[in-house]
Amino acid sequence: MVFVTVAIDSAILAGNPLGDPARRRIGVYLPPGYEHGTQRYPVAYVLVGFNSRGTMLMNESPWDENIAQRMDRLIASGAVQPMILVMPDCLTRYGGSQYINSSAIGHYEDHLLQELVPLIDNSYRTIAQRDYRAVVGKSSGGYGAVMLAMRQPQVFGLAASHSGDLYFELCYKPAFIACVRELQRRDGDLAGFLRDIHMIRPRDAASHTLLNTIAMASCYSPNPASPHGFDLPFDLHTGEIIDAVWQRWLQWDPVHLVGQHAEALQSLKLLFIDAGRRDEFNLQFGARIFCEKLKQHGIAHVHEEFDDGHLNIPYRYDVSLQRISEAMGRL
């Protein structure tokens, strides 16, 4: 096994509004045999969830493999063909970028498409074709995988989402009133919260929920004219939904985008969607709704549910990586 971290100096992320670094460390897994061979390999981009960087997929845990150990095992057993895995870093000060472009956070989709993919194809012996380039992710990373598949089918020919953010009505909206309460507990000091965001103690569920909602607002309803660069979709005093802002969020909800991107989705060699039946963020329902829309548009896909929640489910990568490998066909 070879795992390397590659530094990339992003011109696109340079000067981003949150002051996040333009230099990122990208994790790259190279399959056994890569070093002493000349063969070209398929690539899967692995997108991590909220509050994570790609290299965290290499973290040690007591009982689970890291991504490289997992991939070594899958390749050794023959379940997955040798592939390169790439682990981007799209973490931001607010916890994430959803892998999209936003005036409030930075142009992370552009960074991936225009900078990272070319760098990888230039640096490693990839098969630089969409049919051998997959994108897979979990949670916010699952969202990213679905969005990239819809918007960039010329780049990614296969996509897999584990417990991805789908159907914002159920995965985000229920948290809004908790944010109103938390902000009122903080005397409405949103500016202070944003300033001290990583010093805040305790980092409890309420502050995490607020942070997550702020991150999503930065992604889905950025507004350069707004004091903090984004609009919140609810009134801070009454909790009333501000429909004009909420509609901007919905334009980023994959369940509403299927029709618009049907052709792209039909062109995929694999579209894999799963979620746990006990997902704490209702994402199994989002997955069901999304797959209903896929069916309505005649888009082939694989839909699975498993008996678990949202957390501690890296074992699901076994399923997606095998599906990806099979859909590419053995080389």
Q: Toward a second copy, which CB reaches closer, 187 or 307?
A: 307
User: Which single residue is written with the structure tokens 């973490």?
Assistant: 91
Q: Toward a second copy, which CB reaches closer, 134 or 275?
A: 275
Q: Torsion angle, CA of 99/100/101/104, rounded to 10 degrees?
A: -80
Q: Toward a second copy, which CB reaches closer, 62 or 227?
A: 62
Q: Toward a second copy, which CB reaches closer, 315 or 331?
A: 315
Q: Toward a second copy, which CB reaches closer, 59 or 129?
A: 59
Instruction: Enumerate binding residues for a second copy (CB under 8 A).
Output: 51-53, 55-56, 58-63, 91, 95, 167, 169-170, 174, 177, 180, 198, 201-204, 237-241, 276, 278, 282, 285, 288-289, 292, 306-309, 312
Give the nearest distance from C-beta 113 to a second copy in angstroms: 24
Q: CA–CA distance from 300 to each of 94, 99, 165, 210, 270 (Å)?
A: 35, 24, 20, 37, 8
- The structure tokens listed for 11 are 């011109």
195 residue type, one letter: R
- The structure tokens listed for 50 are 């909220």
> What radius of gyration, in Å, describes the C-alpha atoms of the chain?
19
How far is it, in rounded angstroms, from Cα 295 to Cα 301? Answer: 8
Report yes or no: 281 and 253 within 8 Å, Cβ to Cβ: no
Give the nearest distance from C-beta 182 to a second copy in angstroms: 14
Give the nearest distance from C-beta 220 to a second copy in angstroms: 19
Give the nearest distance from C-beta 315 to a second copy in angstroms: 8
Give the nearest distance from C-beta 184 to a second copy in angstroms: 9
Whose CA is closest to 308, among 262, 286, 269, 275? 275
